[in-house]
Each structure stands twice: as C-alpha cells, then as structure tokens.
Structure 1
Amino acid sequence: MYSQINESISRYVSFSKEELDIFNSLVEYKKVPKKTMMLHEGEMCNFEAFVIKGCVRKYYIDTNGFEVILQFAIENAWLSDISFSIYETRPSQVYIETLEDCEFFTFTPESKEALFEKAPRFERAYRILMQRNLAVTQNRLFHNISQTATEKYLEFLESYPTIPQRVAQHYIASYLGISAEFLSKVRTKLAKQ
C-alpha cells in the first residue's frame, strides 16, 4: 500500500525500514471524489497531500474574476498551500479541487513535525522536495515571461503528457496564461505542421 509514496520520498534520501515504518504510520489514506473542493480561499490549509491516483488543480481567482491555475497535481505529486497556511499560518489565497476521483496520503503539520522528531532524516528529504518545487516554480515564471504561447504549450506537453486527455482545454489555457480560444489556435497550427 505504501510502496508508491515510499519510492517517491526515497528518491532523495535512503531510509531504513524502521524510518519508512514511522513515515507510513503518520500518513493518512484518503479517497476524495471528483469535483471536491479540498480547500477554499480564506480557509487554513491543514494538510500536505501525496497523490496516489487522480488529478487535482490548485488555482486562485484574479482581480477580474478569472481562475488562474497554478498547479496540476497527478500521480506521485505533492500538493498543499505551503506558502500561506502551512508556514505562515495565514488563510489560504488558493482553491484546491479534485478533477478526478482521487486517492491521497496526507499529513497534518502536527504529524509532519512528529515525523521529523521520530525520524530526523525526513527533514532533509522535505528540504530537497521544497528546493525542487522552488526550481520548478522559478522555471515556470521565467518561461511564462520569455516564451511564446506555442513554446509554453509544447513544454507543457513534454512535462505533462497525460494532462490533455484528463482535463478540459480551458484549464490548460488558464495554466499557460492564455485564453482558451488562443490555445485552440495554437493547437490547430501545430496540428497542421
């Protein structure tokens, strides 16, 4: 049952069986149906989730009332609102919604702290995860500024090859920072090439 999350966390640090047993004892398994709001803007986010199965989106509503997708989380991805609720203990500015029936392993801030106390090497693994997440976020910001819509879409397809079959086109457009109509033109142009 825990092999998927154990493989994911062990990519960065090697753990003993005893450490992984502690880790597994502190995660909670959850099944969440499609179209469930796991977090609303203004709420405190009290979880970090590892996606076992399914697809989730994290987004905010901009000043014009448009949804802006910040993240798609699919199998083997980690998901939370770490920036506000977890570390700064401020209400979230984002929404988290399941787009498919999902299965997760979740932590609370308390269970994560208990993990760090009982198996301190997990702090290193989480630090590496956070560094990788920061690098991905910075890359995305850079590419959003410097790339054309076509380049952004092609890079998206390379990074997330299964997402176009799993989510609506307007969600992908939102993630790329373009309109659904413009994305449709990009896709038509690419299909002709």
Structure 2
Amino acid sequence: MEYDLLLEHITQHIQLTQEETAYFTALLTYKEVKRKQFLLQEGDVNRYACFVTDGCLRSYSIDKNGFEHVLQFAPPGWWIGDMKSFIAQEPATLYIDAIDDSTVLLLLKSDLDKLYQQVPKFEHFFRVLAEKSLATYQHRLINNLSLSARERYENFCQLYPSLIQCLPQKQIAAYIGVTPEFLSKMLSQTPPKK
C-alpha cells in the first residue's frame, strides 16, 4: 500500500488510532513524478508537504551564472519542499525535480492546518521534523564553511549511503559545492574513508 512507508515513519514519533489514520490518509494525494519532471519551480508557491515513497527527488537553486546548488536529496522515506514558500505561501526560491521516476504523497498546506486542529498530535510530529531539519541544515552550513571538499564528500556518503552509487557525480558535486571535474579528480587521487 502506498501509505505504509509514511505511516511507519509517523509511528516512530506518534501513535495514531484507526480513525486518525483514516482521516490523515484521506487528506493525502498520490502522485507519480517522471524523471526530470518538476514538482516545484522557482516562482511557484509550494502548496504541498511532500513525502517520497519511491525514487528520488532533489531541491536546488540556480545562481546567476547558471550553476546548480543542491540543498537536499530525498530518497524514499524523506520529506522535501521549499519550507519558506510552504510556510508563508509565497513564491519559491527553489526547484524540486525527480532524479528518477518517483512516487510521492502530497499534503496540501490548508489540509495540514486542518490536521493540526483535528489531530493535535500531528503538531508534535511535524515540530520534531522541523527541529531535526533545522539542526541538520545548521550542521551542514557549518560543515560547508569549515570542512574540506573531501570531508564534505564523506559527510554526504554518511547521510545518503543509498545514493552514492546511483547519483551522477555532477549531482554529488553540486551538493558538496565543487565542480564535477574537481570531484572526479579528488576521488581518483585518494579513495574515501569507509
């Protein structure tokens, strides 16, 4: 069933009754996203919380020189979105697209607000997610400012072990903040630590 992974994820933090589960799943929209298809583009409003059930998505920005800067990859079991756009319902600054054919579950912002009213324990669940996300982004920012490219690559390998072999080096390079050529040269010189 398409909800199993999400419900498993939720029950790590809160316990739902059958009625609460039924109410929650009725709010979700199942969507297939083809490889390279956009779920969100800069300037659009991020209207949905997005949970990946299969495949892989990424969020990124494009600078004035046309270079992509990957903020996040979202394999199965991960949430992805432009949080500022989602919370304020204002135009997004990020792009979100599918790296592979993917499936996602979408929860409309207005339905999430209703969910908080009808099943208050979801406020706890999403607060825990937001806190973990904030801590992760702060840690990543500090690492980007203080670590070498090799160390950033090793952190990437720890965070996304399932993606190391399936992502193109170009995507990994955009995540750790180096050119694909630099990453290729770095990896050919010394293998990463296990």
Whether the TM-score (by the shorter chain) exceeds 0.5 is yes
| Distance 1:42-1:191 versus aligned 2 partners, 3 A rule | same
1:156 alignment partner AA: F
Q: How does 1:108-119 map to 2 (within 5 A)?
A: 108-119=108-119
Quote the RMSD (CA, aligned, Å): 1.4
8 Å Cα contact 2:150-2:192 kept in structure 1: no
* Aligned equivalents of 1:16, 1:91: Cα separation in 2: 36
1:97 counterpart = 2:97: yes
Cross-structure match for 1:155: 155
* Aligned equivalents of 1:70, 1:191: Cα separation in 2: 24
* Aligned equivalents of 2:149, 2:176: Cα separation in 1: 8
Of 111-120 and 73-82, more deviation after overlay is shown by: 111-120
Cα deviations by residue, 1:23-75 (Å, 9 ceiling, x for unpaired): 11111111111110111111111111100001111111112221111110111
**Which secondary structure state, in structure 2, belongs to the residue aligned with residue 163 of structure 1?**
coil
Q: TM-score, normalised by structure 1?
A: 0.94
**Which secondary structure state, in structure 1, belongs to the residue aligned with residue 12 of structure 2?**
coil
Q: How does 1:106-185 map to 2 (within 5 A)?
A: 106-185=106-185
Cross-structure match for 2:60: 59
2:140 alignment partner AA: R
1:16 counterpart = 2:17: yes
Give 1:16 shift.
2.2
* Aligned equivalents of 1:74, 1:192: Cα separation in 2: 22
1:53 alignment partner AA: D
Give 1:117 shift.
1.7
Q: TM-score, normalised by structure 2?
A: 0.94
8 Å Cα contact 2:28-2:107 kept in structure 1: yes
Q: Which runs of no fewer than 5 residues in structure 2 stay unpaired? A: none
8 Å Cα contact 2:60-2:71 kept in structure 1: yes
8 Å Cα contact 2:47-2:89 kept in structure 1: no
Cα deviations by residue, 1:105-146 (Å, 9 ceiling, x for unpaired): 111111111211211110110010000010110111011111
Cross-structure match for 1:34: 35
